[in-house]
Each structure stands twice: as structure tokens, then as C-alpha cells.
Amino acid sequence: MYQSFQEIIEIEKNTGKPFWEIVRDNDCREMEISEEEAFLRMQKMYEAMQNADTAYDPNLSSTSGLVGGDGEKVAVARRNEALLCGPFLGLVMEKAIKMGESNACMKRIVAAPTAGSCGVLPAVFLSLEQGKGYSREQMVKALYVSAGIGGIIAQRASVSGAAGGCQAEIGAASAMAAGGVAFLLGGDGEIISHAAALAMKNLLGLACDPVAGLVEVPCVKRNVIGAVNALTSADLANAGIRSKIPPDEVFDAMRSVGRILPEDLKETGKGGLAATPTGIAFRDNLKSF
């Protein structure tokens, strides 16, 4: 995978190939598979996301009892046209929460890049396909753009909450989705990279402070901000707004912020929301073996 946006943008300039194709070509080389096979594999990931979205069960709750049923509440509000954000953003919010809840309730999901942030990409892409009429082929290409961005983040910074805090999970997913959306809006590598950078800048330093150490509170609801932030960031980049800090430098900053973040805010369940009296009470009420 590529380590910088600069590398991909240079290849784009020299060959005329779009961002997603450059990422896919790299897979073909590394995995020794054909272009068709690589595309098909990514399509299967997209279909798995769609199946996970459809399989949402509003009656489930997680083992701890902290999570479940909220996706349905958004769905009802959306159907009643009671959401200020409107029907499209409402659909995005609904899908993000549903997927996060499905994950907490031990349903099958696609880690993208992690299980805790699995709602961001499908919320954005499935809603765009459903609500804005993009083709399935376009969605798979967008997912390839996201994968390329995730690869850059994994190598320049991290895609693990334990190593980099929540900015490395919801933040990474949001940057990946933002780049994918910028591509769908017609953006080239330059615009894609700035959409990803703008998204990450909004979530830099986000603590990973799960209550009782579980992927539930606040993880599930944070999928919503990751998804919505991706859309606004893509819109800004597509409107011509650029990150004053170059995208590759933004992700270097993410790495350094992840290092500086105290251990208590990196998936240890010791700081932030986990350390509130209510968070501690939830933890103490959990059953062990």
C-alpha cells in the first residue's frame, strides 16, 4: 500500500489513472490476483456491508445491556420527518447507529478499518447509493479509494484505538469515507486527499475511553459523527476548500497526537467517559467469569 497521498497523486499525474485504480493495481501486485478478481473481492466487502445493514435487529441488546434499539429510534424519527438534518443525513445517521449496534450485539459486520468504527463507511456509501443514485460499480471504486486512504493512515499513523486513540478508529474511518465521497463527487487525487485531511483535522486527538472497556459507549454513537463529518468534509473539499496543512502532514500530526495521548485515553477503559462515576458503576455491575 502507498505511504503518502503525494505518491498516489504523482502516479495519477504521470499515468492518468484514477486514485482507486492505483490502489487496486497495488493489490493485484501484492496479492498476485487479476484486476477482475481484486474488484470482485472489494465488491464482496461492499455486499457484506449491505447485508449487515439489512440484518439489523431492533430487538437485540448487547451482553452488557448498554446498547441496542437506538437505530430504530432514528429510523422512526426519519420516517416521521422529525429530523432537522433532513431525510438524507437522517438515513446516514440511522445506518451508522444501526451498524454500531449490530457490532455490539455480535452480528456479522465488516471491520473498516476496525470493528468499533464499522458503521462509518457503510452509513455513508449505502446511503449515497440508496439516496443519490450512484451505481454499484461507483460504490466499489469509492471503497477502493477509502482503502487506499486507510493504508496511508495505517502506515503514517495508526488504525488502532489502543495505539492512537479514537482518532485512529472513528477518525480514520471518517477520513477514509470523506475521500471516497470526494471521488464520487468527481474529485481527483488532490481533492480526495484534502477531503480526508479536513475530516481528520476535525477528529484529531479524539479519546478512546470506552465505558467498562467495551466497544459500546461511546463507540456506537461516534459512528454518526464519523459519517456526517465525512460528508461535510467532502463537500468542503469539492467546493474548493483546501487544508492549509498538506494532507500527508495532517496524518503525521495524527501519529504524533496518538503518541502524546496518555494511556488512560487509549482503549484502557481508565480515563474519560469510562472514569465517570456512572461509567465506573456500569463497569462494576458487569458480570465476569
Partner 1 sequence: MNSFDIIGPVMVGPSSSHTAGAVKIGNISRKLLGTSVQKADIFFHGSFLATGKGHGTDRALIAGLLGFPVDDSRIPDSFRYADESGMEYSLSGIDLGDVHPNSVKLLLFGADGHKIEIIAASVGGGAIRVTEIDGLPANFSGDYPTLVVNNLDQPGHVTEITSMLSHKSINIATMQLYRSSKGGNAVIILECDQEVPDNAIKWLAHLEGILKVTYLGLEDRSK
Contact set with partner 1 (CB under 8 A):
1, 23-24, 26-27, 30-31, 38, 41-42, 45, 48, 62-64, 102-116, 118, 121, 143-144, 146-148, 150-151, 154-155, 159-160, 162, 176, 212-216, 269, 286-289
Q: How far is the CB of 87 from partner 1 (least distance, A)?
A: 27
Q: How far is the CB of 114 from partner 1 (least distance, A)?
A: 6
Q: What angle do CA 62, 66, 69 make, to 5 degrees?
A: 70
Under 8 Å between Cβ of 250 and 152: no
Output the smallest distance, CB 238 to partner 1, in A: 23
DSSP state of 17: -
Q: Classify burial at 241, counting beta carbons within 10 Å of its beta carbon; exposed 0-12, middle 13-18, buried 19 or more.
A: middle
**Minimum CB separation from partner 1 for residue 44, in Å?**
8
Measured from the CB atom, the residue of 82 and 162 that comes closer to partner 1 is 162
271: CB partners within 8 A, 6+ apart: 207, 209, 262, 264, 265
Burial class of residue 43, CB neighbours in 10 A (0-12, 13-18, 19+): middle
If the CB atoms of residues 80 and 288 are measured against partner 1, the closer one turns out to be 288
Q: Least CB distance from residue 13 to partner 1, whole Å?
A: 22
Residue number with CB closer to partner 1 (83 or 154): 154
Owner of C-alpha cell 496524518: 251
Between 224 and 236, CB nearer to partner 1: 224
Which one, 214 or 236, has the nearer CB to partner 1? 214
13 DSSP assignment = H
